[in-house]
Amino acid sequence: MVWHVDEAKSKFDQVLEACLREGPQIIARNGREEAVLVQVDEWRRLQKVESAE
């Protein structure tokens, strides 16, 4: 799901729960996707893949 930054800030607990249940959550600002909230296990997996390249 894509969350507007203001909504993500005011509903951070919901964004976090959605991340844990549904996977990565995208944060948008001014109509542009800017960041992604991911579970820590996914972040660590991505870090390992990146360092292996």
Between 32 and 48, the more confident residue is: 32
Predicted pLDDT of residue 25: 98
- Per the structure, the complete domain to which residue 34 belongs is given by 2-52
pLDDT of 51: 84
pLDDT at 49 exceeding the cut of 90: no
State the total domains in the chain: 1
Q: Which letter, b or e, does each residue of 7-34 get, where b requires 16 or more Cβ atoms within 10 Å of its Cβ?
A: ebeeeeeebeebbeeeeebebeeeeeee
Q: Are strands 32-37 and 25-29 parallel, antiparallel or unpaired?
A: antiparallel
Per-position DSSP letters for 1-53, written without gaps between them: -EEEHHHHHHTHHHHHHHHHHH--EEEEETTEEEEEE--HHHHHHHHHHHHH-
45: CATH? 3.40.1620.10
Mean pLDDT computed over 12-39:
98
Model confidence, pTM:
0.88
Predicted confidence band of residue 50 (pLDDT cuts 50, 70, 90)? confident
